[in-house]
Amino acid sequence: MSAVLRAWETVLQSIELDLLSGRLRPGDHLPPERALAAELGVGRSSVREAIRVLEVLGLLRTSSGSGPGAGAIIVALPGGGMSALMRLQVAAHGFPVADVVKTRLVLEASVVTELAEASAQADSTMVATVSLRPNLSTPVQLLDAMESPTLTEAEFLTLDAEFHLALAEASGNQVVTATMAGLRSAIEGYARAGATGLASWAHTSIRLRAEHRAIVAAIEAGDAPAARSLVHDHIAGYYAETHQTHLLAAHHTDASGQPVAR
Amino acid sequence: MSAVLRAWETVLQSIELDLLSGRLRPGDHLPPERALAAELGVGRSSVREAIRVLEVLGLLRTSSGSGPGAGAIIVALPGGGMSALMRLQVAAHGFPVADVVKTRLVLEASVVTELAEASAQADSTMVATVSLRPNLSTPVQLLDAMESPTLTEAEFLTLDAEFHLALAEASGNQVVTATMAGLRSAIEGYARAGATGLASWAHTSIRLRAEHRAIVAAIEAGDAPAARSLVHDHIAGYYAETHQTHLLAAHHTDASGQPVAR
DNA sequence: GGTGGGGTGTGGTCTGACCACATGCTACAG
DNA sequence: CTGTAGCATGTGGTCAGACCACACCCCACC
């Protein structure tokens, strides 16, 4: 396999090896494109193609100019590339919306479970060794912003998607956060598409706000089963309401993690 | 924001819009690079950068030559790009291994739950309307291959990773499958790294084989809770055994992975 | 000492050229 | 008429060179 690596692939491979070996670390500068091209014996355009890939994947950022801050810098920001990937994958009809929703159910149930358990643990242990209590300030701020009555549907749903992403971030799991970030645009897409067919947006938005508050309350109370259940109903409910298909409720998996009811 | 799109970004955007509008569908050919460049008023190198990105993301494949089969063809194979993304993300220390493992626990528990429930449903309904029974032939074939006593550790672990991916595929959820495919190389990486420190590989591999068989048996028996529990113990057990850290039980690692990059 | 302007190095882009390859057609031989 | 060898064509893959815009750095000048 991999008969002969194309020029840009050798560049990508070289950079990947440098990352793995530790020669390149987040924060470091990549050599200038021209230098890299000469060093690897390829054309500058091939170097650029590899750098472009890494940039879209969220592994580095580039900026023109001179001095520190310019050039290609390793950043490795999670979700940066996953977002582009998921968005394009959905655009190309690669992912059925139902699968996106089901994956949300699984991941978000896990997220709020972890958050609630961390919260409960922070309560039980008086010890102030490490602040285990999850930081929900960002999600709460988003909820406050969503109270504004002047929001359009699109604006509301954008904040909604940000709220769910913020919960994932608060859980601290970077892989889940990255995946959720990737799904975000897909989520916003189907949410917005479905919202146009709702009987009463005002009514629905009020319900969504209340559900969000309830989820946060359950987390802060350390009630993991409740948080899990609320999140499931929140996501599945909106999907069912906007897509007229009750398939999700049918099999009703309690998502991931531990069984809810024994 | 988004002051001025760079040339290759306009190309990417144009293709994305064509995908969303249905002008481009999986199986279609992209216009030749030169034509696309002329059409969009950019240089061919910019078109190439956009195409390169789409190729790495698994949205199209390119081939030289002439006639049908050559050129850039939309494929939208799920997980194609996620694999590159995750691999590089891990290479750049973007994802802690613990988060990868925790995400596996969540996703795979969901996968086997769905499989087991589908299996149980297939049993209960005598009706042969649609064969709901999940197709486990690929996973089982992999298990058979893993019985070979001549396998090296690396070969065994490769098959192991493939087995878990095959389970995800069998579940039918494309988003989960894509994510697992992306995590696969990361999984193989930490599994292989940890295996070198094991007391007895022979002993461990025997246990892993047995656990795999038990998981499949639970799925086929339609016993979702058992399957979920077995998968959890299987993954967490190996991780604990090879990493000596029981951090998984006490989750929530505050992730402040933002690189300083300045 | 402060300040302005040019020098310099960087990414961003375009152009043109060449190569390798796969195809398809055509002209020639049978 | 048929089959095949070989050239024409169109494609991606790559390179080299050139120019631009930009941000920083340094030094001469005020």
Q: What percent of chain A has pLDDT over 70?
A: 87
Under a CB-based contact definition with an 8 Å cutoff, are residues B96 and A109 in contact?
A: no
Residue A235, min C-alpha distance to chain B (Å): 17
Per-residue pLDDT tens over the stretch B211-230 = 999 999 999 999 999 999 99
SS3 content of chain A, % helix, strand, coil (to 5): 65, 5, 30
Average pLDDT (A14-23) is 89
- Which SS3 state, helix, strand or coil, does residue B220 take? helix
B141 CA → C6 C1’, Å: 71
Which two tokens mark B108? 């795979």
CA distance B189 to B166: 18
Under a CB-based contact definition with an 8 Å cutoff, are residues B223 and B121 in contact?
A: no
CATH of region B81-243, choose from 1.20.120.530, 3.40.50.450, 3.30.70.1400, 3.90.1150.10: 1.20.120.530
CATH superfamily of A80-251: GntR ligand-binding domain-like (1.20.120.530)
A16 CA → D26 C1’, Å: 37
Which two tokens mark B20? 């969303």
Q: A76 vs B207, which has greater pLDDT?
A: B207
Q: What is the pLDDT along chain B (262 residues), one digit of tens a residue?
A: 445 889 999 999 999 999 888 899 889 999 999 999 999 999 999 999 999 999 998 889 999 988 888 889 998 776 667 777 777 877 777 788 899 999 999 999 999 999 999 998 877 665 555 556 889 999 999 999 999 999 999 999 999 999 999 999 999 998 898 888 878 878 888 888 888 888 888 999 999 999 999 999 999 999 999 999 999 999 999 999 887 654 444 433 333 333 333 3
**Inter-chain contact A68–B251, Cβ cutoff 8 Å?**
no
Strand partners, B62: B72
Answer whether any strand C atom is within 7 A of the Cβ of B242. Answer: no
Which two tokens mark B119? 């299996």
| Highest mean pLDDT out of A61-65, A195-199, A209-213, B177-181 | A209-213
Average pLDDT (A52-79) is 86
Q: Which helix (H) or strand (E) holds A248?
A: helix A247-251
Q: What pairing do the DSSP bridges indicate for beta strands A71-74 and B60-63?
A: unpaired
Residues 50-69 of A with CB under 8 A from B: 52-54, 56-59, 61, 68-69
Q: How many residues can be counted in chain A?
A: 262
Instruction: Give Dmax (Cα) for chain A.
Output: 64
Note the pLDDT of residue B259: 34
**Which residues make Cβ contacts (< 8 Å) with residue A14, sequence separation at least 6?**
A40
Q: Which helix (H) or strand (E) holds A186?
A: helix A174-195
CA distance B200 to B183: 26
From A39-53, A130-144, A156-170, A236-250, the region with the lowest mean pLDDT: A236-250
Name the residue facing A49 among B49, B57, B106 (closest C-beta): B49
B261 CA → D17 C1’, Å: 33
Compute how many other C-beta atoms are within 10 angstroms of the C-beta atom of residue B246. 10
- Whether the per-residue pLDDT at A122 is higher than 90: the answer is no
Under a CB-based contact definition with an 8 Å cutoff, are residues B207 and B144 in contact?
A: no
Nearest by Cα to A115 from A221, A6, A240:
A221
One DSSP character per residue, A20-60 reads HHTSS-TTPBPPPHHHHHHHHTS-HHHHHHHHHHHHHTTSE
Residues 124-163 of B with CB under 8 A from A: none
Q: List chain A domain ranges.
A: 7-74, 80-251
Q: Which helix (H) or strand (E) holds A238?
A: helix A224-243
Q: Does residue A181 sit at the B interface (CB-CB below 8 Å)?
A: no
B153 CA → D11 C1’, Å: 43
CA distance B61 to B72: 6
Footprint of strand D, using CB within 7 A?
A: A 6-9, 37, 41-46, 49, 63-70; B 30, 32-35, 44-45, 48, 51, 62-66, 70-72
Under a CB-based contact definition with an 8 Å cutoff, are residues B201 and B209 in contact?
A: no
Burial-class residue A186 by CB neighbours within 10 Å (0-12, 13-18, 19+): buried
Sign of CA dihedral A179, B211, B243, A255: positive
- Whether the per-residue pLDDT at A104 is higher than 90: the answer is yes
**Which residues make Cβ contacts (< 8 Å) with residue A199, sequence separation at least 6?**
none
**Inter-chain contact A251–B176, Cβ cutoff 8 Å?**
no
Q: Does residue B11 sit at the A interface (CB-CB below 8 Å)?
A: no
CA torsion angle for B228, B232, B238, B239 (degrees, to 10)? 150
Note the pLDDT of residue A131: 58
Which two tokens mark B71? 């050129």
Residue in chain A nearest B117 by alpha carbon: A251
Backbone angles phi, psi at B73, to 5 degrees: -120, 130
Q: What pairing do the DSSP bridges indicate for beta strands B71-74 and B60-63?
A: antiparallel
Under a CB-based contact definition with an 8 Å cutoff, are residues A242 and A234 in contact?
A: no
Which two tokens mark A71? 């050039």
Number of H helices, E strands in chain A: 11, 2
Name the residue facing A256 among B54, B110, B255 (closest C-beta): B110
Per-residue pLDDT tens over the stretch B73-121 = 998 776 667 777 777 877 777 788 899 999 999 999 999 999 999 998 8
Q: A7-74 belongs to which CATH class?
A: mainly alpha
Answer whether any strand C atom is within 7 A of the Cβ of B70. Answer: yes
Which two tokens mark B85? 């993304």
Under a CB-based contact definition with an 8 Å cutoff, are residues B14 and B40 in contact?
A: yes
Note the pLDDT of residue B187: 86
Burial-class residue A9 by CB neighbours within 10 Å (0-12, 13-18, 19+): middle
Instruction: Give Dmax (Cα) for chain B.
Output: 64
